[in-house]
Amino acid sequence: MEYFLKLFLSGTAKGSIYALIALGYTMVYGIIQLINFAHGEIYMIGGFTALILGGFFFSNSMPVWLVLLFSVLLSIIYASAFGYTIEKIAYRPLRGKPRLSALISAIGVSIVLQNFVLLAQTEKFMPFPSYLPEFSWLQPYKEYINSTQLIILGVTAIIMVFLTLLIKFTRIGKAMRATAQDMHMAQLVGVDVNQVISVTFIIGSSLAAIGGVLICSYMGQINYYIGFVAGIKAFVAAVLGGIGSIPGAVLGSFILGWTESLGTGYISSDYEDAFAFVILIVILLIKPDGILGRTQRQKV
Amino acid sequence: MKRTYMLLAVFALAGLMVFSGAQNAFAAPTIKIGVAGAHTGDLASYGLPSVNAAKLVVKNINDKGGINGQKVELVIEDDQCKPELATNAAAKLVSAKVVAVIGHICSGATKAALGIYKDSKIVTISPSATNPPLTQSGEYPNFFRTIAPDDAQAKLAATFLAKTLKLKKIAVLHDKGDYGKGFAELVKQYAEEYGVQVPLFEGINPGAPDYSAVVNKISNAKVDGVVWGGYHPEASKLVQQMKDKGMNIPFISDDGVKDNTFIEVAGKYAEGVYATGPTDTSTNALAIKAIEEHKKTFGTEPGAFFLNAYAATQALLNAIEKAGSTDYNKIVAALKSNYVDTPLGHISFDQKGDIIGFGFSVYQVKNGVFVELK
């Protein structure tokens, strides 16, 4: 039982890592039905920005919480700028074209960004300092969960609630929902669709940057390729939960995390990916739109 | 083109024989040593440094008056690392009446040539053929090598954890790659031969953000050590997550982890980690001297397996000197019973022909650097 609990908690921690990235995926998809493959790279760039800024601030002997605050804020700004620009350059010109074009463009952006960081920064693995506080009261339970995992879990929950509220109750949220339902109609009633989509990308990229800082702090290392592996898993999680749905992305991530963790614990880690994809296939067979996905009606 | 080279080589060789024959007409006959390996073709860079090494050692010894009053002479044959050419080269060396051969370079070519040398009772010392069965099959009593076989690293890690650390139960993890999994499987095999239990043997996904599930599994298996076959990015995540959960059991890994990047990335978590890696020769005075000699004579930095070939030639000439003759049995016995100081260290050969005193060493991270454990 104790073993099960440990595996369950490690699955939860893993799930919240996936969820941090999956939330951004699902949000962009929910509004413009585009799978933004570059999302994983934005997450990586967020992490790198924090690494560089953190090194700079630390060398100026700032207190850790200030370093964390500044690095996170600045990497959010930097990553959002990337997200905004990518949308403008790579996706907007393809709006209204076949959906496959934008998808291929997204894959292209992802490769360009990876190689940009590879060339402009380094091909090596870099140590990532921990910006996050250690809770001493958690020390007795360290076999179960550590401070960083708890923080990631907490941040995921906060972001999920924040996004849900944003979309349900604010003006921009209403505009997002309108754009998601029918872009032309939204334009006709006076919604500035371009602005709404830009804001969506900015929010999505900010989430990726937060994820980058937290997850890299947890892993203790960073390299230009980390966005790819994490991005694929987060994408699977988002599809599992019903892509486009915010609670769905979180639920899908947890299911993925638990499956992998329990599969590893009770069967073998050799088949970790196999468990993930088997569960994806099973759920898609039963519910083709994912667990919390809305059934898409054919528009006529 | 190739034909021209071959022709030239034959003429050169013939010329050499005539020339040396004439010169030594009244002196004691020379001791002929063959040097075989890839000297042309795409693997020439593996073979040519050995020729240079043999030339340097032979020159040094001839300058001192040779061995037992006899000068040493090299007979050089090219096999391009191809088994079919290796048998040709071997046949030529046999008919040139060489006493011993330094070579061949590639394992496949070496294996092809070894049968011929064995039948003609010619001692063969390879500086670079790492294929384990060449010595371990016991098929070639005439074969020796101055390089550790492919499985030596795993054997060393297993011996270290079983005999030095005295672990009873270990978990073996790998990254599912050729290198990591190969190492892990051999460690498991050798450790089990020592009576160590391996209740957990698993591959993990390289690049994954989190290994806490498998770390829980390790802790649940109640092992007293972890072996990792793979590279440093995963190793640093594993040690970090293990230590975060309060597990302070030995972590033993391979050459893929014995890299300073591992220490940079894992930071304080790297402390105490064991890793095997090739024995360090950079501080060996003889190695420094041999490299200097090479630079002076040939004007370049020596290439691959230079030191191994240098040591092989030294060991061979020393054995001939100790044996007092060029008799096959005496040379073999002398190789196995004498230690020689070479650029690789103080070396000898075991009963199977594998090198003793050089190969892989165990390193441990102490105060942020890998320190060789003696």
pLDDT tens digits for range B220-250: 999 999 999 999 999 999 999 999 888 999 9
Please report which confidence band the pLDDT of residue A299 belongs to, taking 50, 70 and 90 as the band edges. Answer: very low
Where along chain A do its domains lie? 17-133+142-231
Between A17 and B374, name the one with better pLDDT.
A17
Q: Which of B209, B216, B236 sits opposite A215 (nearest CB)?
A: B209
- DSSP-derived letter for residue A267 is T
State residue A203's pLDDT score: 95
Q: Could you tell me the two tokens for A277?
A: 């994809």
Q: What's the residue count for chain A?
A: 300
Please report which confidence band the pLDDT of residue B347 belongs to, taking 50, 70 and 90 as the band edges. Answer: very high
Over residues A205-232, mean pLDDT: 92
Cα angle at B126 between B121 and B131, to 5 degrees?
105
If DSSP codes are grouped into helix, strand and coil, which group holds residue B200?
strand
Residue ranges of domains in chain B, CATH in brackets: 2-150+283-356 (3.40.50.2300), 152-278+359-373 (3.40.50.2300)
**Cβ atoms within 10 Å of A288's Cβ, excluding its own:** 11
Q: Is residue B226 within 8 Å of B211, Cβ to Cβ? A: no
Q: What is the strand order of the sheet B31-37 is part of?
A: B72-78, B31-37, B100-102, B123-126, B143-145
pLDDT tens digits for range A72-103: 999 999 999 999 999 999 999 998 888 899 99
Q: Is A189 exposed, middle or buried (0-12, 13-18, 19+ CB in 10 A)?
A: exposed
B212 contacts A10? CB cut-off 8 A: yes
Give one word for B284, left, alpha or beta, with left for phi > 0 and alpha for psi -120 to 50.
beta
**Residue linked to tokens 């099960």:** A4
| Chain B residues whose C-beta sits inside 8 Å of any chain A C-beta | 176, 202-205, 207-210, 212-217, 219-220, 232-233, 236-237, 240, 244-246, 261, 264-267, 269
**Chain B residues in contact with A124 (beta carbon < 8 A):** 261
d(CA B306, CA A22): 54
B232 contacts A223? CB cut-off 8 A: no
Of A2, A12, A6, nearest to A258 (Cα)? A12
d(CA A131, CA A134): 10
B269 contacts A270? CB cut-off 8 A: no
Q: Report the percentage of chain A scoring pLDDT > 70.
A: 98
State residue A61's pLDDT score: 77
**Chain A residues in contact with B261 (beta carbon < 8 A):** 124-125
Q: Is residue B173 within 8 Å of B184, Cβ to Cβ? A: yes
Scored b (16 or more CB within 10 A) or e, B230-257 reads bbbbbbbbbbbbbbbbebebbbbbbbbb
Largest CA distance in chain B: 79
Q: Which of B207, B217, B237 sits opposite A229 (nearest CB)?
A: B207
Closest chain A residue to B263, measured at CA = A127
State residue B171's pLDDT score: 96
| Helices first, then strands: H and E counts in chain A | 11, 2
| Chain A residues whose C-beta sits inside 8 Å of any chain B C-beta | 3, 6-7, 10-11, 13-14, 17, 124-127, 142-143, 146, 149, 215, 218-221, 223, 225-226, 229-230, 233, 260-262, 264-265, 268-270, 272-273
Closest chain B residue to A217, measured at CA = B209
